[in-house]
Amino acid sequence: MNLLNPNDSLAFNLSLNSPFNFICFKCGACCYHRHIELNNFEISQLARSFHLSRFELRQRFLNPGPRPWIKNKSDGSCFFLRPSGCSIYPVRPLVCRLYPLGLLFGPKGEERWGLLPLHPDCLGLITDDKTIEDYLFSQEAMPYLQFERRLRKIKGFSSRRPKTSW
Establish if 30 belongs to a structural domain: no
How much of the chain, in percent, has pLDDT values that exceed 70?
87
Amino acid in the structure at residue 83: P
Share of the chain residues as helix, strand and coil, in percent rounded to the nearest 5: 35, 20, 45
Same structural domain, 21 and 101: yes
Task: Return d(Cα 53, Cα 95) in angstroms, integer.
Answer: 23
Task: Render pLDDT for 62-104 as a digit per residue (tens, 0 to 9).
Answer: 999 888 999 999 999 999 999 999 999 999 999 999 999 999 8
Task: Render pLDDT for 103-120 as a digit per residue (tens, 0 to 9).
Answer: 988 877 788 999 999 999
Q: Say if residue 138's pLDDT is above 80.
A: yes
Contact between residue 129 and residue 21 where contact means Cβ atoms under 8 Å apart: yes
Confidence category of residue 149, pLDDT binned at 50, 70, 90: confident
Establish if 65 belongs to a structural domain: yes
Establish if 59 belongs to a structural domain: yes
The residue segments making up the domain with residue 84 are: 37-88
Q: Say if residue 22's pLDDT is above 80.
A: yes
